[in-house]
Amino acid sequence: MTTFVLVHGAWSGAHGFRHVRPLLRQAGHEVFTPSLTGLGERVHLASPQVNLSTHVRDVVNTILYEDLSDIVLLGFSYGGFVVTGALEHIGERVRHLVYLDAFVPDDGASLFALAGQAAVPPITLGEPWFIPPTPRTYDDPAEAAFSNARRVPHPIACFQEPVRLLRPLEELAFTRTYIKATADAPDAPGAKAFWAAAARAKASTAWSYHEIATNHMVPNNRPRELVDILLQLT
């Protein structure tokens, strides 16, 4: 049995993995999908104080309080920042690290910087402190209706705070995989950083690399294909 910890992306929640969880459990594995503070069913906890460190602690505490070890840790999209930040705290408990169409940041990078966004001025009282969601495209209209209705505002501080990583990912003891969704063009909004991360993984012997022919919303569109790749890591 392998223990999987799956970390969702921005504007979403644990429900984003609801098609993936049963497939992994049917194969005999344990699965944890924590919802990050202020997102998903924890949207009532959103505040200007929620930042990347908050979400890193969400994942770290799940792993520590459940006493999980020898895990496969997966970060999807923005979740790539979260799992990277978690490594300083629980890196010794990770057997394999997976980035699913995700940001792969180096030490000191913020999401805004890596995504090429313009700098956002410091938040002051009375100014917006969150970024509202935009609808995503899904293969199944029913999935689109379900998931888009559950996309919630994301605290902006999560995208402003730099991640901390003491050593380059390629120097850490565990193995690494990048899974790229190939239906999004490299010049599509927000896609450039994911294609750059994919190129980094493809060029390095420290990574394994896989592709899934769908758009960014891989867990919703291609759960079976995703699980087939993950089962190769067990």
Kindly state the tokens that stand for 16: 């984003």
* CB neighbour list of residue 160: distance below 8 Å, 6 or more residues apart: 51, 110, 111, 112, 120
Q: How far apart are CA 31 and CA 163, in angstroms?
A: 25
Q: Is 116 left (phi over 0), alpha (psi -120 to 50) or beta?
A: left
In 66-155, alpha helices (H): 79-90, 111-114, 141-148
From the candidates 12, 35, 77, 147, give the one annotated as an active-site residue: 77
Give the separation between CA 20 and CA 90, rounded to whole angstroms.
24
- Is residue 35 among the annotated active site residues? no
- Catalytic positions, written as ranges: 77
